[in-house]
Structure 1
Amino acid sequence: MASPKAQVQMVYKNCARALGEGPHWDDRTQHLIFIDILNREVHRWDPTTGKDELRRVDDTVGVVVPRRKGGYILGLGRRFASLDWDTGKTTTIKEVGPENPRPSTAELPDPSAANRFNDTGNRFNDGKCDPMGRLWTGTIGPFGPGGFVAGSGCLYSLNVDRTVTLRHSGVDLTNGMAFSNDNATLFYIDSTPKNIYAFDYDPQAGNLSSERTVRQFEDSGGSPYTAEIPDSMTIDTDGKLWVAMFNGGKVLKLDPETGKTLQTINFPVTQTTSVAWGGRNLDELYVTTGRLFPEEEFKKQPLAGSLFKVTGLGARGRPAYLYEG
């Protein structure tokens, strides 16, 4: 049950016209960066003044992270790209997918992944930097009547030397990521099978191994458009996971050791998408939302697409990692 001290506040109304996602608190500037994936927008919001600076880009944007040397790194369609904030110009670093040759087994951390590599028609969806400054982001496949094409997504890292490594494949719908506080584990959500996985993670090489399931959520029923699924997540300094449940209107606090729900925070909208710790003490949980439904439903959920802040949780996060390339 939700803590009686937890307070949910709407702080930026209807800032996403389609799919608000990817919040990243820049501890250096005290700004929140977030995206509207389908409207191809990158937002930089100042919670002190309420000012929102907006940059529009030329493709769907699945992830944005600040770059140590300035500017931002994006996942645009299937491209890794840099964004110069002052000019709004994007520059492609590397594209993944059908334009690149099928990787040989020697190029794959997991050689068996070669048999599952099928990334045609995909786009980047969600990502996060690791302790070494790599950007990890994954793809999702085309969406059809039955949902996203199963097994067509992959997980990549953009390394600090600007090379790209395929880290994992056979994914349905790449979503939330979090690195454990001891930097030994990557937690990773594949939304369509409703699973949170954990991998042993080698921070120096970036290799993943020993995949296991932390939590498999029960099937809530409904169509691919309405089913409740785990979306994005973050981690607190106690090592607990905070997971946004898309079509569930809630954020769950989970124990990764047991997979059990420790706390539930409810919202006045259904499409809760992503979470990030922010504020000067990193004890405020920012939550993005979407509004992927007809206008008639929006009348019932007038705060859909808004940004929310949750306080009084008795938890805090760590500064988010930057891209170091």
Structure 2
Amino acid sequence: MSYKVETVLKDAVSTIGESPHWDDATQTLLYVDILKGDIHRYDPANGKVDVLHLDGGVGFVLPRKKGGLLAGFGQAFVSVDWETKTVTKLAEVDLGSNIKLNDGKCDARGRVWAGTLDWQLTPHKGSLYCLDIDGSVSKQDENFTIANGMAWSPDNKTMYFIDTTPREVYAYDYDIDTGKISNRRLVVNFNDIPELCSKDVMGPDGMTIDTEGNLWVACLQGGCVAKIEPQTGKLLQKVDIPDAKRITSVCWGGKNLDELYVTTLKMHPTRATFPVIDSLDGSLFRVTGLGAHGTPAEMYRG
């Protein structure tokens, strides 16, 4: 199937572009520039980008039903008022450690799920947390290195979750009523997929899912997005992103939720292993003509 890759915003971020979230209500795209501490809101109708700066690293951003936004800010889940620039702490994790919140997403009941990692990427220091709609936080799993992308099956019976460093995607049995996960198992290992097992591909990063239950996984340093069938671990399609290698995350957007938005990493100012290597690293892309689509992304209901 023929698809088209469009560079929507060149140099969309100066450090790490991440956490794209399509706000169906406003038909705009939210995403973050992690190390710069910026939240971006892109309106494809007019091409305008609004930016809100937070004084510190921001891992992810989501709309909030009560108004404003919910963000992962350092070790804290915070509410953000765009107009007043007010940041209010709601809950914290791993106090007194070198841990920070990384990727985050809402389940179908409006709970926020977020992974953590150690700033130095120390192995097995990351965890998976859930911020419930009553404001309580619970640790759901642990011993990850780079806790990353997540998605839920169309029937909400399975939750998928990525740990980038071992290059693995896991599945859990998921109880939508209680928000509990169980029976973690490996469903995709990049080392077992010939097209993705190269040492040049750091591993899976962010991901989303389509209405047929296929995973769309950002391949960090692989210059592509991989469409994978989680039941078999089979690579169904490889969507190449020209002139960009550091693909960080993806989400469905557009009026029909059939446009795949792709964020990328430009550079990591504190790591020599992340120099700018491709001309469009740090850009925001949109892919059309994929023959797939998603469902509206949920907002935090707390």
- TM-score, normalisation: structure 2: 0.94
Gaps of 5+ in 2: 192-196
| 1:243 aligned residue | 217
Q: Does 1:16 align with 2:13?
A: yes
| 1:160 aligned residue | 133
1:292 Cα shift? 1.8
Which amino acid in the other structure matches residue 255 of structure 1? Answer: E
1:316 aligned to 269, 277, 293, which one? Answer: 293
Matches within 5 A, 1:195-210: 195-210=168-183
Report Cα offsets for 1:73-121 as digits up to 9, x if no partner.
000011010000111111111111135xxxxxxxxxxxxxxxxxxxx21
- TM-score, normalisation: structure 1: 0.87
| 1:275 aligned residue | 250
Count of residue pairs the alignment pairs up: 293
Matches within 5 A, 1:158-307: 158-218=131-191, 220-221=198-199, 227-267=201-241, 268-292=243-267, 298=276, 301-307=278-284
1:8 Cα shift? 0.5
Distance 1:48 1:256 in 2: 34
1:136 aligned to 107, 113, 127, which one? Answer: 113
Which amino acid in the other structure matches residue 275 of structure 1? Answer: V
Distance 2:66 2:156 in 1: 23
Larger of the two Rg values belongs to structure: 1
In terms of fraction of residues, the more strand-rich structure is: 2
Which amino acid in the other structure matches residue 17 of structure 2? Answer: G
Report Cα offsets for 1:8-34 as digits up to 9, x if no partner.
010111011010000000000000000
Q: Does 1:48 align with 2:45?
A: yes
1:60 Cα shift? 0.9
Which amino acid in the other structure matches residue 66 of structure 2? Answer: K
1:301 Cα shift? 2.0
1:297 Cα shift? 5.5
Distance 1:59 1:258 in 2: 40
Aligned-residue CA RMSD (Å): 1.5
